[in-house]
Every structure is written in C-alpha cells, then in structure tokens.
C-alpha cells in the first residue's frame, strides 16, 4: 500500500530501532533518564532556546505551551485554519479556559499583519486580555507553506509593541527550514516558544519537543504531569528522536521533490486540478473537477489500486509525501490516478 494519508505513518528506520535497543535509560519523571536529557539538550541547541521538554504528542506540546503562556480568561490570536483551532479537541478552551480569536489564514499560512493589529484588544473590562499570538510553520491546511523569516520578524515586532508573546506550532519546522534554506535556530528566534514533531517527516515513532526559556519549560513540565504525559523510561523514544535529528533532515528535501513531481503529474490528469506552485514542501492538495464521481468514490477506487489518502472536504484531497514513498511510489500513484480517471470516461 502506498500510504499518502500523512507523514505520521512513517516507520522508524533500522538505525532508530538499533538506538532504541541500546538506549541508556532512567526514570524521566524523576529527571533521571540520560537519553531524554540528551534529546532535550540537543533540541534546545537546535532551536536556540534555553531549554526543551520531550512530550508525547504535538497536541500536548501546543496545549502545554499555550496554557503556560496564558491565564484563564486570556485570549490567543490564531488562524482559522490552525491545527490548534481545528484538530486539538478545543483543549485550550476546555482545559485552560483560554479564549481564541480566529483570524483568516492567507493561502501562504500567514495572518495578515493588519488583521493581527486590529485583533489586539483594548485594556477594557468588557474584553478578554490579549496575551499570545500563535503561528504555524509549516502550515498544514495552507498547502504546507513555510513562514518566512521576514514575516516572523514582522509578527515579533507587533508582539513587542503590545507586550504580547509569540508561540509557533512548528510540527513540521524542519520542513520549513529545508524549504527556505534557513537554519532552524534562525526561524525560532522571533518566537518565545516553539514546538516540533519527531514522528512526522523525521520518522521517529513518537514524540514532540517544546522549546523556550527555562521558566517557561518548568511550567510546561508541570502541566505535562497534570495531563498524564510524564513517562518513565522514555529514553527508548528519545533515542529514536536523536537518531531522527541526526539522520533524517536531509531526507525532507527529497520528500519535497517527490511532492512537486506528484503535483505536476496530477495537474496533467483530466478531471483533477492541482497547482504545483502551491506545493512548497511535502503536502499536495488537489480537487476533483468531475460530476460523475464523488470524493468518497475516488478515495475508495484508489485504495483498491493500492494508494491511500484523505478527502479533507467535498472533492478536495490531501497527499503527504515522506520517507516511506520513493520515486517509484510516486510514479505508481500517478499511474493509478490515470487509470481510475480514464476508466470513468
């Protein structure tokens, strides 16, 4: 099966499995796991932050970050297509009592700077207090676009002018770094905190990192425990994460190339619409332009041909390339799309 549903379906490499087998372990809740310490130190250095914390998931990474920055009743500015808003079960509201102010995401994943400025509340008892701006890099729902350093710096300037904090959901942060040709540390500099995921394109089995200043990470660690995210001999997971950071970043450029090839091929198939210019990283969106088949049927027919992907809204689909899909898999996927679409004619 050629699985293009997400880069979360990646499997650990043999080198990661070997590192898991030979990891030095201790009780991380007691702060005694040396492999966790190594991963957190490495992550802090890569992002240019004082400290880092390993957590089980990207959802917990964002939740603990936002709860650490905000008090109950505070407001966070984020995009209407943000992962935190759409796909994290409303945790910041239900668990943190934090009000979200959703702004329209532009096609490139940004929030218009004027929209951010206009969303910042006056200091008035009628309003929640604006505390935090949340961005996403790369942006999942906005074609996988990376946020440029100029944009990040512009948002930082606004935040400074209004004494606000900036958090970046960097689940695919390393994809952004590779696509822009900019070190991760530079992309993280404008943010007070950032997260990144080990189990997407980097292919580790589990885990995300939260990175920021030491006091912030101390608060995040307490919240991780509250949420049940304190793990014991978690070094078996951290070992795979270290291997991922050491060996898998270069792979991301190939994933981006495969996505471009996939988008270009889909754009040439009658009845499918895809713009390769909107494929800056490893995420491909396309639409079905025919009335004789619906989205559910297309997904089902392709699955029978050995290709899996998601319909994310009626007749709109997402494909995500990763290390489990090679050039031959891309060619096979395009051949199956052609067969299915031509078979309907």
CATH of residue 265's domain is 3.90.1150.10
Whole-angstrom CA distances from 126 to 73, 75, 96, 123 are 12, 13, 20, 9
Domain range for 114: 8-246
pLDDT in tens, 39-90: 999 999 999 999 999 999 999 999 999 999 999 999 999 999 999 999 999 9
Per-residue pLDDT for 343 more than 90?
A: no
Which domain-ending residue is among 246, 267, 298?
A: 246
Based on the domain organization, do 298 and 239 belong to the same domain? no
Per-residue pLDDT tens digits for 163-198: 999 999 999 999 999 999 999 999 999 999 999 999
Domain-embedded: residue 295:
yes
* Mean pLDDT value across residues 20-36: 97
CB 282 within 8 A of CB 321: yes
CATH at residue 31:
3.40.640.10
Confidence of residue 16 (pLDDT cuts 50, 70, 90): very high
| 239 and 91 within one domain | yes
Q: What gap in Å lies between CA 300 and CA 106, rounded to an integer? A: 31
Q: How many domains does the chain have?
A: 2
Considering the domain architecture, whether residues 168 and 280 belong to the same structural domain is answered as: no
Q: CA-to-CA distance for 299 and 68, rounded, in angstroms?
A: 41
Same domain membership, residue 66 and residue 204: yes
Asked if the structure places residue 231 within a domain, the reply is: yes
Of 212, 227, 246, the last residue of a domain is 246
Is there a single domain that holds both residue 272 and residue 229?
Answer: no
**Domain end marker among 213, 246, 279:** 246
Residues 6+ apart with CB under 8 A from 49: 188, 193, 194, 211, 212, 213
Q: Is residue 2 part of a domain?
A: no
Based on the domain organization, do 194 and 175 belong to the same domain?
yes
- Assess contact for 110 and 151: CB atoms under 8 A: yes
């Amino acid at each position: 099966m050629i699985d293009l549903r997400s880069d979360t379906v990646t499997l650990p490499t043999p080198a990661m499995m070997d590192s898991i087998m030979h990891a030095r372990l201790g009780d991380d809740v007691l702060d005694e796991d040396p492999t966790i310490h190594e991963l957190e130190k490495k992550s802090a250095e890569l992002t240019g932050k004082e400290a880092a914390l390993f957590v089980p998931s990207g959802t917990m990474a964002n939740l603990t970050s936002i709860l650490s920055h905000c008090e109950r009743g505070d407001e966070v500015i984020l995009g209407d297509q943000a992962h935190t808003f759409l796909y994290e079960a409303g945790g910041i509201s239900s668990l943190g009592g934090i009000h979200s102010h959703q702004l329209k995401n532009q096609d490139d994943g940004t929030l218009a700077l004027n929209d951010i400025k206009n969303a910042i509340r006056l200091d008035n008892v009628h309003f929640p207090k604006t505390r935090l701006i949340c961005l996403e890099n790369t942006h999942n729902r906005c074609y996988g676009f990376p946020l440029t350093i100029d944009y990040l710096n512009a948002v930082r300037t606004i935040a400074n002018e209004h004494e606000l904090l900036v958090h970046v959901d960097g689940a695919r942060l390393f994809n952004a770094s590779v696509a822009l040709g900019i070190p991760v540390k530079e992309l993280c500099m404008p943010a007070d905190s950032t997260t990144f995921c080990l189990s997407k394109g980097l292919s580790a089995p589990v885990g995300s990192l939260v990175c920021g200043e030491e006091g912030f990470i101390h608060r995040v660690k307490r919240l991780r425990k509250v949420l049940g995210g304190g793990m014991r001999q978690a070094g078996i997971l951290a070992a795979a994460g270290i291997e991922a950071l050491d060996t898998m970043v270069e792979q991301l450029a190939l994933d981006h190339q495969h996505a471009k090839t996939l988008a270009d091929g889909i754009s040439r198939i009658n009845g499918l619409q895809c713009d390769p210019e909107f494929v800056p990283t490893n995420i491909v969106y396309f639409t079905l332009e025919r009335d004789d088949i619906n989205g559910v049927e297309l997904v089902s027919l392709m699955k029978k041909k050995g290709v899996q992907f998601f319909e994310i809204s009626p007749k709109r689909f997402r494909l995500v390339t990763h290390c489990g899909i090679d050039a031959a898999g891309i060619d096979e996927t395009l051949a199956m799309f052609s067969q299915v679409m031509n078979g309907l004619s």
